[in-house]
Chains A and B, each alone.
Chain A
Amino acid sequence: MSLPIAAAAQVDTGDTAWMLVATALVLLMTPALGLFYAGLVRSKNTLNTFMMCIAAIAIATVTWAAVGYSLAFDGTGDLIGGLDYAFLQGVDFTPRDGTTIPHLVFFAFQATFCIITVALISGAVVERMRFSAFLVFAALWSVLVYAVLAHWGFGGGWLMEGGTLDFAGGIAVEMASGFSALAAALVVRARKDYGRQALLPHNAIYVVLGAGLLWFGWFGFNGGSGFSTGDASVLAFTNTLLTPACALITWFALDLIRGRKVTAIGAATAIIVGCVLITPAGGFISPGWAMALGFLGALPCYAVIVWRPRTRVDETLDVLAAHGIAGFTGILAIGLVAQITWNGVADGIFYGNAAQLWDQALAAIATPAYAFGMTFVLLKLIGLVMPLRASEHDEAVGMDVVQHGEEAYVTGEGAILVIPDGPGEKDKEVPVANPV
Chain B
Amino acid sequence: MKLVIGIVRPEKANDVLEALYRAEVRGVSLSRVQGHGGELERVETYRGTTVKMGLAEKARFEIAVSDEFVQPTVDALCEGARTGEVGDGKIFVVPLEQAVRIRTGETDTSAVTPVVK
Contact = CB atoms under 8 A, between A and B. Distances in A.
A385 interface: no
B31 interface: no
A430 B34 CA distance: 21
Given A397-B11, A434-B40, A416 B45 contact: no
A397 B9 CA distance: 9
A149 B14 CA distance: 43
Contact of A193 (B14, B34, B50, B52): B14
A432 B34 contact: no
B11 A396 contact: yes
Contacts of B37: none
Task: Say what secondary structure dominates the interface of chain A.
Answer: loop
Interface in A373-424: 393, 396-398, 401, 405-407, 410-418, 420
A311 interface: no
A420 B87 CA distance: 27
A436 interface: yes
B50 A407 contact: no
A114 B112 CA distance: 60
Nearest to A419: B50
Contacts of B43: 405, 418, 430, 432
A257 interface: no
B42 A432 contact: yes
Given A396-B12, A401-B44, A415 B53 contact: yes
Contact of A417 (B9, B36, B41, B49): B49
Task: Say what secondary structure dominates the interface of chain B.
Answer: mixed
B22 to A, nearest CB: 14
A427 to B, nearest CB: 15
Interface string A213-249: 0000000000000000000000000000000000000
A171 to B, nearest CB: 41
Contact of B34 (A197, A396, A413): A413
Nearest to B45: A405
A406 B44 CA distance: 5
B97 interface: no
A419 to B, nearest CB: 8
B42 A433 contact: yes
Contact of A431 (B11, B14, B41): B41
Contacts of A433: 39-42, 87
Given A396-B12, A411-B34, A432 B40 contact: yes
A42 B83 CA distance: 21
A418 B51 contact: yes
B85 A436 contact: yes
Nearest to A414: B55
B54 interface: yes
A414 to B, nearest CB: 3
Interface of B: 9, 11-12, 14, 34, 36, 39-46, 49-55, 83, 85, 87
10 contacts: A405-B42, A405-B43, A406-B45, A416-B53, A417-B50, A418-B51, A418-B52, A430-B50, A430-B52, A434-B40
Given A432-B42, A433-B87, 16 more contacts: A44-B11, A193-B14, A393-B85, A396-B9, A396-B11, A405-B44, A406-B46, A412-B51, A416-B41, A416-B52, A416-B54, A417-B51, A430-B43, A431-B40, A431-B41, A434-B40
